[in-house]
Protein backbone atom coordinates (compact mmCIF):
# COMPACT_ATOMS: atom_id res chain seq x y z
CA UNK A 1 0.00 0.00 0.00
CA UNK A 2 1.63 3.23 -1.06
CA UNK A 3 1.25 6.64 0.47
CA UNK A 4 -0.71 8.12 -2.36
CA UNK A 5 -3.99 6.26 -2.07
CA UNK A 6 -4.11 7.16 1.63
CA UNK A 7 -3.90 10.85 0.87
CA UNK A 8 -6.43 10.51 -1.85
CA UNK A 9 -8.87 8.75 0.40
CA UNK A 10 -8.40 11.42 3.03
CA UNK A 11 -9.12 14.02 0.43
CA UNK A 12 -12.14 12.02 -0.64
CA UNK A 13 -13.35 12.01 2.93
CA UNK A 14 -12.95 15.79 3.16
CA UNK A 15 -14.71 16.32 -0.16
CA UNK A 16 -17.55 14.06 0.84
CA UNK A 17 -17.88 15.84 4.16
CA UNK A 18 -17.90 19.19 2.41
CA UNK A 19 -20.59 18.11 -0.01
CA UNK A 20 -22.66 16.67 2.80
CA UNK A 21 -22.32 19.86 4.83
CA UNK A 22 -23.30 22.03 1.87
CA UNK A 23 -26.30 19.84 1.21
CA UNK A 24 -27.24 20.06 4.85
CA UNK A 25 -27.02 23.84 4.86
CA UNK A 26 -29.04 24.01 1.68
CA UNK A 27 -31.61 21.83 3.36
CA UNK A 28 -31.80 24.20 6.31
CA UNK A 29 -32.47 27.24 4.17
CA UNK A 30 -34.71 25.37 1.78
CA UNK A 31 -37.75 26.15 3.88
CA UNK A 32 -37.80 29.75 2.73
CA UNK A 33 -38.38 28.82 -0.90
CA UNK A 34 -42.13 28.76 -0.63
CA UNK A 35 -42.39 31.76 1.64
CA UNK A 36 -43.70 34.15 -0.98
CA UNK A 37 -46.57 31.97 -2.10
CA UNK A 38 -49.35 33.07 0.19
CA UNK A 39 -50.26 29.58 1.12
CA UNK A 40 -52.99 28.54 -1.22
CA UNK A 41 -50.50 26.85 -3.50
CA UNK A 42 -51.56 23.32 -4.34
CA UNK A 43 -50.38 21.38 -1.36
CA UNK A 44 -52.16 18.53 -3.07
CA UNK A 45 -53.29 15.84 -0.68
CA UNK A 46 -51.64 17.43 2.35
CA UNK A 47 -54.57 16.69 4.58
CA UNK A 48 -52.65 16.48 7.80
CA UNK A 49 -53.69 19.36 10.00
CA UNK A 50 -51.02 20.62 12.36
CA UNK A 51 -52.80 21.87 15.46
CA UNK A 52 -50.76 23.29 18.35
CA UNK A 53 -52.34 23.91 21.72
CA UNK A 54 -51.50 24.03 25.42
CA UNK A 55 -54.37 21.84 26.55
CA UNK A 56 -52.09 19.02 27.51
CA UNK A 57 -54.01 17.78 30.52
CA UNK A 58 -57.24 17.86 32.48
CA UNK A 59 -60.44 19.45 31.20
CA UNK A 60 -58.66 21.24 28.35
CA UNK A 61 -57.32 17.99 26.98
CA UNK A 62 -60.72 16.31 27.17
CA UNK A 63 -62.28 19.34 25.45
CA UNK A 64 -59.93 19.41 22.47
CA UNK A 65 -60.28 15.62 22.10
CA UNK A 66 -64.08 15.97 21.99
CA UNK A 67 -63.83 18.73 19.39
CA UNK A 68 -61.49 16.74 17.16
CA UNK A 69 -63.63 13.64 17.48
CA UNK A 70 -66.74 15.57 16.47
CA UNK A 71 -64.90 17.07 13.52
CA UNK A 72 -63.53 13.76 12.32
CA UNK A 73 -66.99 12.23 12.30
CA UNK A 74 -67.84 14.70 9.56
CA UNK A 75 -64.45 14.73 7.88
CA UNK A 76 -62.91 11.29 8.37
CA UNK A 77 -60.25 11.98 5.73
CA UNK A 78 -58.52 14.71 7.75
CA UNK A 79 -55.63 13.55 9.90
CA UNK A 80 -54.38 15.55 12.87
CA UNK A 81 -50.77 16.16 13.78
CA UNK A 82 -51.95 17.39 17.12
CA UNK A 83 -49.29 18.61 19.48
CA UNK A 84 -49.90 19.74 23.03
CA UNK A 85 -47.20 22.18 24.08
CA UNK A 86 -46.68 22.11 27.82
CA UNK A 87 -46.56 25.29 29.83
CA UNK A 88 -48.96 27.19 32.02
CA UNK A 89 -51.45 29.50 30.32
CA UNK A 90 -49.81 29.02 26.95
CA UNK A 91 -46.85 31.39 27.33
CA UNK A 92 -44.61 28.57 26.14
CA UNK A 93 -46.89 27.84 23.20
CA UNK A 94 -46.44 31.37 21.87
CA UNK A 95 -42.69 30.89 21.86
CA UNK A 96 -42.97 27.59 20.02
CA UNK A 97 -45.19 29.20 17.39
CA UNK A 98 -42.89 32.24 17.09
CA UNK A 99 -39.92 29.94 16.53
CA UNK A 100 -41.83 27.97 13.91
CA UNK A 101 -42.88 31.16 12.13
CA UNK A 102 -39.31 32.47 12.18
CA UNK A 103 -38.31 29.20 10.55
CA UNK A 104 -41.07 29.65 7.99
CA UNK A 105 -42.85 26.53 9.12
CA UNK A 106 -46.25 27.78 10.30
CA UNK A 107 -48.71 25.39 11.91
CA UNK A 108 -52.17 25.02 10.34
CA UNK A 109 -53.69 26.71 13.35
CA UNK A 110 -53.04 27.00 17.08
CA UNK A 111 -54.66 28.05 20.32
CA UNK A 112 -54.48 31.82 20.51
CA UNK A 113 -56.08 34.57 22.52
CA UNK A 114 -57.55 36.86 19.85
CA UNK A 115 -58.07 40.63 19.97
CA UNK A 116 -55.02 42.87 20.29
CA UNK A 117 -53.00 39.79 21.17
CA UNK A 118 -53.16 38.89 17.47
CA UNK A 119 -50.53 41.60 16.95
CA UNK A 120 -47.96 39.18 18.34
CA UNK A 121 -48.00 37.26 15.08
CA UNK A 122 -48.62 40.27 12.87
CA UNK A 123 -48.56 39.40 9.18
CA UNK A 124 -48.75 35.65 9.73
CA UNK A 125 -52.51 35.33 9.24
CA UNK A 126 -54.76 35.09 6.26
CA UNK A 127 -58.22 36.56 5.87
CA UNK A 128 -60.93 33.90 6.15
CA UNK A 129 -63.97 36.13 5.82
CA UNK A 130 -65.09 34.54 2.54
CA UNK A 131 -64.49 30.92 3.39
CA UNK A 132 -65.16 30.58 7.09
CA UNK A 133 -66.86 33.73 8.39
CA UNK A 134 -70.11 33.12 6.52
CA UNK A 135 -73.25 35.13 7.16
CA UNK A 136 -74.31 32.38 9.52
CA UNK A 137 -71.33 33.07 11.79
CA UNK A 138 -71.68 36.84 11.52
CA UNK A 139 -75.34 36.68 12.54
CA UNK A 140 -74.77 34.38 15.48
CA UNK A 141 -71.62 35.75 17.10
CA UNK A 142 -72.32 38.71 19.36
CA UNK A 143 -70.58 41.98 18.58
CA UNK A 144 -67.90 41.64 21.27
CA UNK A 145 -66.46 38.26 20.27
CA UNK A 146 -66.86 39.08 16.59
CA UNK A 147 -64.73 42.18 16.98
CA UNK A 148 -62.06 40.20 18.82
CA UNK A 149 -61.83 37.69 15.94
CA UNK A 150 -60.62 40.44 13.62
CA UNK A 151 -57.18 41.84 13.13
CA UNK A 152 -56.91 45.23 11.40
CA UNK A 153 -60.47 44.85 10.19
CA UNK A 154 -60.22 41.42 8.59
CA UNK A 155 -61.49 38.16 10.02
CA UNK A 156 -58.48 35.96 10.76
CA UNK A 157 -59.56 33.67 13.59
CA UNK A 158 -62.52 31.74 14.95
CA UNK A 159 -63.32 32.09 18.69
CA UNK A 160 -64.04 28.72 20.20
CA UNK A 161 -65.03 29.42 23.78
CA UNK A 162 -65.63 32.25 26.18
CA UNK A 163 -64.39 32.57 29.71
CA UNK A 164 -65.75 35.31 31.90
CA UNK A 165 -63.48 37.39 34.13
CA UNK A 166 -65.95 39.46 36.18
CA UNK A 167 -67.13 36.72 38.54
CA UNK A 168 -67.27 36.66 42.29
CA UNK A 169 -67.45 33.08 43.57
CA UNK A 170 -68.44 32.35 47.13
CA UNK A 171 -68.78 29.55 49.62
CA UNK A 172 -72.45 29.57 50.68
CA UNK A 173 -71.87 28.16 54.17
CA UNK A 174 -69.30 30.83 55.06
CA UNK A 175 -71.51 33.66 53.80
CA UNK A 176 -74.50 32.23 55.69
CA UNK A 177 -72.45 32.11 58.87
CA UNK A 178 -71.43 35.75 58.39
CA UNK A 179 -74.94 36.78 57.38
CA UNK A 180 -73.87 38.24 54.06
CA UNK A 181 -76.20 38.11 51.06
CA UNK A 182 -74.03 38.15 47.92
CA UNK A 183 -76.86 39.29 45.65
CA UNK A 184 -77.26 42.44 47.71
CA UNK A 185 -73.77 43.68 46.86
CA UNK A 186 -73.77 46.31 44.15
CA UNK A 187 -70.35 47.94 44.11
CA UNK A 188 -66.70 47.21 44.76
CA UNK A 189 -66.91 48.94 48.13
CA UNK A 190 -69.83 46.67 49.07
CA UNK A 191 -67.43 43.75 48.61
CA UNK A 192 -64.99 45.41 50.98
CA UNK A 193 -67.67 45.93 53.65
CA UNK A 194 -68.87 42.35 53.17
CA UNK A 195 -65.27 41.20 53.75
CA UNK A 196 -65.19 43.26 56.93
CA UNK A 197 -68.32 41.52 58.18
CA UNK A 198 -66.91 38.09 57.29
CA UNK A 199 -63.66 38.85 59.09
CA UNK A 200 -65.61 39.89 62.17
CA UNK A 201 -68.16 37.05 62.16
CA UNK A 202 -66.17 34.02 61.01
CA UNK A 203 -62.70 32.46 61.12
CA UNK A 204 -62.58 32.23 57.35
CA UNK A 205 -60.36 34.35 55.13
CA UNK A 206 -62.73 36.84 53.48
CA UNK A 207 -61.10 37.12 50.05
CA UNK A 208 -58.95 34.28 48.68
CA UNK A 209 -56.28 35.62 46.33
CA UNK A 210 -52.75 34.83 45.21
CA UNK A 211 -50.07 37.51 44.82
CA UNK A 212 -46.97 35.53 43.85
CA UNK A 213 -47.78 36.22 40.20
CA UNK A 214 -49.30 39.40 38.81
CA UNK A 215 -52.14 37.97 36.73
CA UNK A 216 -54.83 37.54 39.40
CA UNK A 217 -54.39 41.12 40.60
CA UNK A 218 -54.51 42.55 37.09
CA UNK A 219 -57.80 40.69 36.56
CA UNK A 220 -59.19 41.98 39.82
CA UNK A 221 -58.18 45.55 39.07
CA UNK A 222 -59.62 45.53 35.54
CA UNK A 223 -62.90 44.14 36.87
CA UNK A 224 -63.12 46.84 39.52
CA UNK A 225 -62.19 49.50 36.96
CA UNK A 226 -64.98 48.26 34.68
CA UNK A 227 -67.42 48.48 37.59
CA UNK A 228 -66.38 51.93 38.78
CA UNK A 229 -65.55 53.72 35.53
CA UNK A 230 -68.27 51.97 33.53
CA UNK A 231 -67.89 50.59 30.05
CA UNK A 232 -66.93 54.01 28.68
CA UNK A 233 -64.19 54.56 31.24
CA UNK A 234 -62.92 51.03 30.70
CA UNK A 235 -62.84 51.42 26.94
CA UNK A 236 -61.08 54.77 27.23
CA UNK A 237 -58.40 53.08 29.29
CA UNK A 238 -57.82 50.19 26.90
CA UNK A 239 -57.65 52.66 24.04
CA UNK A 240 -54.90 54.53 25.81
CA UNK A 241 -56.94 57.52 27.00
CA UNK A 242 -57.62 56.33 30.51
CA UNK A 243 -58.52 58.73 33.27
CA UNK A 244 -55.71 58.54 35.84
CA UNK A 245 -58.12 59.29 38.67
CA UNK A 246 -60.44 56.39 37.78
CA UNK A 247 -57.46 54.08 37.45
CA UNK A 248 -56.19 55.15 40.85
CA UNK A 249 -59.59 54.78 42.52
CA UNK A 250 -59.82 51.21 41.24
CA UNK A 251 -56.31 50.51 42.55
CA UNK A 252 -57.26 51.94 45.93
CA UNK A 253 -60.19 49.52 46.05
CA UNK A 254 -57.73 46.68 45.39
CA UNK A 255 -55.56 47.96 48.26
CA UNK A 256 -58.62 47.94 50.55
CA UNK A 257 -59.43 44.39 49.50
CA UNK A 258 -55.85 43.28 50.02
CA UNK A 259 -56.43 43.69 53.75
CA UNK A 260 -58.67 40.65 53.48
CA UNK A 261 -56.37 38.40 51.43
CA UNK A 262 -54.91 35.29 53.07
CA UNK A 263 -51.82 36.40 55.00
CA UNK A 264 -49.67 34.05 52.92
CA UNK A 265 -51.10 35.20 49.58
CA UNK A 266 -47.59 35.73 48.19
CA UNK A 267 -46.64 32.08 48.69
CA UNK A 268 -49.71 30.40 47.29
CA UNK A 269 -50.98 29.75 43.79
CA UNK A 270 -54.43 30.24 42.33
CA UNK A 271 -55.18 26.53 42.87
CA UNK A 272 -54.46 26.81 46.58
CA UNK A 273 -56.51 29.99 46.90
CA UNK A 274 -59.39 28.31 45.11
CA UNK A 275 -59.13 25.26 47.36
CA UNK A 276 -59.56 27.55 50.37
CA UNK A 277 -63.01 28.46 49.05
CA UNK A 278 -63.85 24.81 48.45
CA UNK A 279 -62.73 23.84 51.96
CA UNK A 280 -64.72 26.63 53.57
CA UNK A 281 -61.50 28.39 54.65
CA UNK A 282 -62.31 31.41 52.52
CA UNK A 283 -65.53 33.19 51.60
CA UNK A 284 -64.97 34.89 48.24
CA UNK A 285 -62.69 34.49 45.30
CA UNK A 286 -62.58 36.68 42.21
CA UNK A 287 -61.56 34.62 39.19
CA UNK A 288 -62.35 33.63 35.66
CA UNK A 289 -64.93 30.89 35.40
CA UNK A 290 -62.21 28.23 35.17
CA UNK A 291 -62.35 28.39 38.98
CA UNK A 292 -65.76 26.71 38.75
CA UNK A 293 -64.19 23.79 36.88
CA UNK A 294 -62.50 22.72 40.10
CA UNK A 295 -65.78 23.01 42.02
CA UNK A 296 -67.62 20.76 39.56
CA UNK A 297 -64.97 18.07 39.99
CA UNK A 298 -65.30 18.13 43.76
CA UNK A 299 -67.84 15.67 45.18
CA UNK A 300 -70.26 17.13 47.65
CA UNK A 301 -69.58 20.69 46.56
CA UNK A 302 -72.57 21.61 44.48
CA UNK A 303 -73.55 24.66 42.50
CA UNK A 304 -76.40 26.56 44.13
CA UNK A 305 -76.06 24.67 47.40
CA UNK A 306 -72.43 24.83 48.49
CA UNK A 307 -71.09 27.49 46.17
CA UNK A 308 -72.50 30.24 44.05
CA UNK A 309 -71.44 32.97 41.69
CA UNK A 310 -72.53 36.56 41.18
CA UNK A 311 -71.44 39.02 38.53
CA UNK A 312 -68.70 41.03 40.22
CA UNK A 313 -70.58 43.79 42.08
CA UNK A 314 -70.72 46.93 39.97
CA UNK A 315 -70.20 45.21 36.61
CA UNK A 316 -73.71 43.93 35.91
CA UNK A 317 -74.56 44.15 32.24
CA UNK A 318 -70.96 43.44 31.23
CA UNK A 319 -69.45 40.12 30.27
CA UNK A 320 -65.68 40.67 30.57
CA UNK A 321 -64.24 38.35 27.94
CA UNK A 322 -61.37 35.98 27.75
CA UNK A 323 -61.44 33.71 24.73
CA UNK A 324 -59.47 31.06 22.97
CA UNK A 325 -59.54 31.10 19.21
CA UNK A 326 -58.00 29.33 16.25
CA UNK A 327 -56.42 31.63 13.65
CA UNK A 328 -55.84 30.71 10.03
CA UNK A 329 -52.12 30.88 9.30
CA UNK A 330 -50.85 32.12 5.94
CA UNK A 331 -48.62 29.74 4.02
CA UNK A 332 -50.83 27.05 5.52
CA UNK A 333 -49.56 23.48 5.40
CA UNK A 334 -53.10 22.13 4.94
CA UNK A 335 -55.27 24.92 3.49
CA UNK A 336 -58.42 22.96 2.75
CA UNK A 337 -58.46 20.90 5.94
CA UNK A 338 -57.75 23.97 8.07
CA UNK A 339 -60.71 25.82 6.56
CA UNK A 340 -62.96 22.85 7.15
CA UNK A 341 -61.77 22.62 10.74
CA UNK A 342 -62.20 26.34 11.45
CA UNK A 343 -65.68 26.23 9.94
CA UNK A 344 -66.48 23.36 12.26
CA UNK A 345 -65.16 25.38 15.24
CA UNK A 346 -67.63 28.06 14.19
CA UNK A 347 -70.61 25.70 14.47
CA UNK A 348 -72.79 25.56 17.56
CA UNK A 349 -72.39 21.78 17.62
CA UNK A 350 -68.58 21.86 17.76
CA UNK A 351 -68.59 24.62 20.38
CA UNK A 352 -70.97 22.71 22.64
CA UNK A 353 -68.83 19.55 22.39
CA UNK A 354 -65.75 21.55 23.34
CA UNK A 355 -67.25 23.70 26.08
CA UNK A 356 -69.10 20.87 27.80
CA UNK A 357 -65.67 19.55 28.75
CA UNK A 358 -63.85 22.86 29.14
CA UNK A 359 -66.32 24.58 31.48
CA UNK A 360 -66.55 27.74 29.39
CA UNK A 361 -69.45 28.75 27.14
CA UNK A 362 -69.93 28.80 23.35
CA UNK A 363 -69.36 32.20 21.72
CA UNK A 364 -72.33 31.65 19.39
CA UNK A 365 -75.58 32.97 20.71
CA UNK A 366 -77.74 30.24 19.14
CA UNK A 367 -76.17 27.18 20.75
CA UNK A 368 -78.28 24.49 22.38
CA UNK A 369 -76.65 24.51 25.78
CA UNK A 370 -78.76 21.80 27.40
CA UNK A 371 -75.68 19.54 27.28
CA UNK A 372 -73.79 21.98 29.52
CA UNK A 373 -74.04 22.07 33.29
CA UNK A 374 -76.34 24.41 35.19
CA UNK A 375 -73.63 26.93 36.02
CA UNK A 376 -72.59 27.15 32.38
CA UNK A 377 -76.23 27.54 31.32
CA UNK A 378 -76.64 30.42 33.75
CA UNK A 379 -73.45 32.04 32.47
CA UNK A 380 -74.66 31.56 28.90
CA UNK A 381 -77.90 33.29 29.76
CA UNK A 382 -75.93 36.21 31.27
CA UNK A 383 -73.75 36.31 28.18
CA UNK A 384 -76.68 36.58 25.79
CA UNK A 385 -78.34 39.19 27.97
CA UNK A 386 -75.20 41.28 28.47
CA UNK A 387 -75.21 44.88 27.25
CA UNK A 388 -71.55 44.70 26.31
CA UNK A 389 -68.73 42.18 26.09
CA UNK A 390 -65.52 44.13 26.70
CA UNK A 391 -62.18 42.34 26.17
CA UNK A 392 -59.88 41.50 29.07
CA UNK A 393 -56.58 43.34 29.67
CA UNK A 394 -54.80 40.53 31.47
CA UNK A 395 -55.62 38.01 28.77
CA UNK A 396 -54.21 40.20 26.05
CA UNK A 397 -57.44 40.86 24.16
CA UNK A 398 -57.70 44.53 25.03
CA UNK A 399 -54.16 45.85 24.62
CA UNK A 400 -51.18 45.09 22.41
CA UNK A 401 -48.53 42.70 23.78
CA UNK A 402 -46.01 45.47 24.55
CA UNK A 403 -48.61 47.51 26.46
CA UNK A 404 -49.64 44.34 28.28
CA UNK A 405 -46.02 43.84 29.37
CA UNK A 406 -45.90 47.41 30.67
CA UNK A 407 -49.12 46.81 32.61
CA UNK A 408 -47.77 43.59 34.12
CA UNK A 409 -44.57 45.45 35.01
CA UNK A 410 -46.63 48.09 36.81
CA UNK A 411 -48.46 45.40 38.75
CA UNK A 412 -45.29 43.53 39.69
CA UNK A 413 -44.27 46.74 41.38
CA UNK A 414 -47.75 47.26 42.86
CA UNK A 415 -47.56 43.86 44.55
CA UNK A 416 -44.38 44.97 46.31
CA UNK A 417 -45.55 48.32 47.63
CA UNK A 418 -49.33 48.73 47.01
CA UNK A 419 -48.67 52.31 45.98
CA UNK A 420 -51.90 53.22 44.12
CA UNK A 421 -50.77 56.66 42.92
CA UNK A 422 -47.46 55.51 41.42
CA UNK A 423 -49.10 52.46 39.83
CA UNK A 424 -51.84 54.63 38.32
CA UNK A 425 -49.15 56.75 36.68
CA UNK A 426 -47.42 53.66 35.38
CA UNK A 427 -50.69 52.24 34.03
CA UNK A 428 -51.77 55.33 32.15
CA UNK A 429 -48.17 55.68 30.97
CA UNK A 430 -48.16 52.10 29.71
CA UNK A 431 -49.50 53.26 26.37
CA UNK A 432 -46.74 55.81 25.72
Partner 1 sequence: MRNPLTVLKRRLSEHREVRTDGGTTSAGSILDRDSVRSAPFWLPPFLLIGLFIYGAIAWNIVLSLTDFQGLGTPDYSALDFENYVVAFFGGTPSWSELTVSPIWNSAWNTVVLMVSFSVVCLALGLVLAILVDQEIRFENTFRTIYLLPMSLSFVVTAKFWLYMYNVETGLVNLFLGAVGVGPIEIVQNPDLKLAAVAFALIWQFSGYAMIVYLAGLRAIPTSHFEAARVDGASTVRMYWRVIIPQLRTATVSALVVLTVFSLKAFDFLFSMYGGYQPGPSADILATRMVREAYSNGNWAYGSAIAVILFIMALAIVTPYIYSQYKRGEL
Task: Please report, as ranges, the residues that interact with partner 1 according to CB under 8 A.
Answer: 1, 3, 6-7, 10, 13, 88, 91, 94-95, 98, 101-102, 120-124, 211-215, 262-264, 266-269, 401-406, 408-409, 411-413, 415-417, 429-432
CB of 276 to partner 1, least distance (A): 12
- 164-187 core/surface letters (b: 16 or more CB in 10 A; e: else): bbbbbbbbbebbebbebebeebeb
CB of 413 to partner 1, least distance (A): 5
Question: Across the chain, which distance is largest between two alpha carbons, in Å?
Answer: 102
Give CA separation, 248 vs 167, 243, 369, 427, in Å.
Answer: 22, 9, 40, 9
CB of 405 to partner 1, least distance (A): 5
The alpha helices in 141-288, defined as continuous H runs, are 143-148, 172-178, 188-201, 215-238, 244-258, 270-278
CB of 272 to partner 1, least distance (A): 10
Cβ-based nearer residue to partner 1, 13 or 421: 13
Contact 293, 59 (CB under 8 A): yes
- 37-58 core/surface letters (b: 16 or more CB in 10 A; e: else): eebeeebeebeebbbbbbbeee
Give the separation between CA 150 and CA 160, rounded to whole angstroms.
14
Cβ-based nearer residue to partner 1, 183 or 432: 432
Parallel, antiparallel, or unpaired: how do β-strands 154-155 and 150-151 relate?
A: antiparallel
Cβ-based nearer residue to partner 1, 46 or 101: 101
Cβ-based nearer residue to partner 1, 239 or 267: 267
Cβ-based nearer residue to partner 1, 212 or 377: 212
CB of 113 to partner 1, least distance (A): 13
CB of 371 to partner 1, least distance (A): 34
Cβ-based nearer residue to partner 1, 331 or 355: 331
Cβ-based nearer residue to partner 1, 189 or 413: 413
CB of 86 to partner 1, least distance (A): 12
Count CB-CB contacts under 10 A for residue 411.
25
Cβ-based nearer residue to partner 1, 163 or 404: 404
Contact 398, 242 (CB under 8 A): no
CB of 88 to partner 1, least distance (A): 7
| Percent helix, percent strand, percent coil in the chain, to nearest 5 | 55, 15, 30
Amino acid sequence: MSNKPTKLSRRTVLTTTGVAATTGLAGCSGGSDDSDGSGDGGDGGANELELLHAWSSGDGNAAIAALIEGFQEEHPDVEFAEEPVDGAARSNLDQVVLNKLQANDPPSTFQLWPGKNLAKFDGAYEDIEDDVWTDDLKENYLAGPQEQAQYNGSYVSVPLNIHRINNLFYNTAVLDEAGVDPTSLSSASDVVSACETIAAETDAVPFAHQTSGTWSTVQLWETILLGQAGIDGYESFINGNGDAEQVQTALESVVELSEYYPSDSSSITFTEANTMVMDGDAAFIHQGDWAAGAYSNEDGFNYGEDWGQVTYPGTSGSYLLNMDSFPYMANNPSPEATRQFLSYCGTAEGQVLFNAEKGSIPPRSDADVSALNQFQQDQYEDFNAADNQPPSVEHGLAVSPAVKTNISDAFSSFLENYDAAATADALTGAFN
